[in-house]
Amino acid sequence: MTDFTREIQLVNQLADVSTEVICQYFRQANIYAETKLADRSSIVTIADRQAEEAMVNILRETVPNDGIIREEGENIPSKNGRYWVLDPIDGTSAFVKGLPVFGTLIGLVDSHQNLPLVGCLNQPILQERWLGITGKIPTLNGKPLENPYAKLTDSQLKDACLTSTTPIMFITQRQQAIAAKLQQVCKRIAFGGDCYNYGSLASGWSSMPMVILESDLKYYDFCALIPILEGVGCIITDWLGNTLNSESTEVLAASNQTLHQQALEVINN
């Protein structure tokens, strides 16, 4: 098994430096922010840009042959097939409201195999850091995670909590119809949370099994989450059940295989 000691040290360094930047701006009035063109719900702040730039500077100095896929700036091509995938603040809408349910996402992927190698979800305010490494049990602040719902084979979709960051992320008529179908099946529906939903899913914090349905995503929104979720027995794919890749925009995640399969059946029918 590959030893990712060096990569883990670098992930923690990136999480630390982004934490320093983000904490300077959290719950500060009148910080500079913009709304991205044609998307009223997509906000970018000076904290996003400075945190990303701080991480990029470290990567360019430390691993110059690795590429970078980033949310705010220009991507950097890879010379060896490895890419760091960065989202400095996933959940900027929560950040600007002063709610600590956003996170920094840091992923490392082997693009030749479409294999996420390392993934980190860092919540700087609550000081929570999820770390996933392919083939190993993920951790939260260094302690192994356990998903209590992972091995359940009698889970029922109607009893799960269906979660999406926002209903307006379902753009097309097809996406809206699928979301509406799943919302009719599930008795419990919750909106909000961004990447923090996936941290809760991996940690088994929810009072019942969860299904997360999201669309209109980019690679940096979910790449880092894959090794964290898969390492605890959660399932994460696109809406057709296919392995996620850099072109995917629709994500379906569930506490276990049984729920995931039931959700796929609703989507495909």
Q: How far apart are the first and last CA of the chain?
A: 40
159 is in an annotated binding site: no
194 is in an annotated binding site: no
- Give one DSSP letter per residue of 63-132, joined into a string: -TTSEEEESSS--B--SSSEEEEEEEEETHHHHHTT-S--EEEEEEEETTTTEEEEEEEEETTTTEEEEE
d(CA 135, CA 61): 28
Q: Give the residue among 137, 116, 146, 71 at the shortest CA–CA distance from 226.
A: 116
71 is in an annotated binding site: yes
16 is in an annotated binding site: no
87 is in an annotated binding site: yes
Annotated binding site for Mg(2+): 71, 87, 89-90, 221
Annotated binding site: 71, 87, 89-90, 221
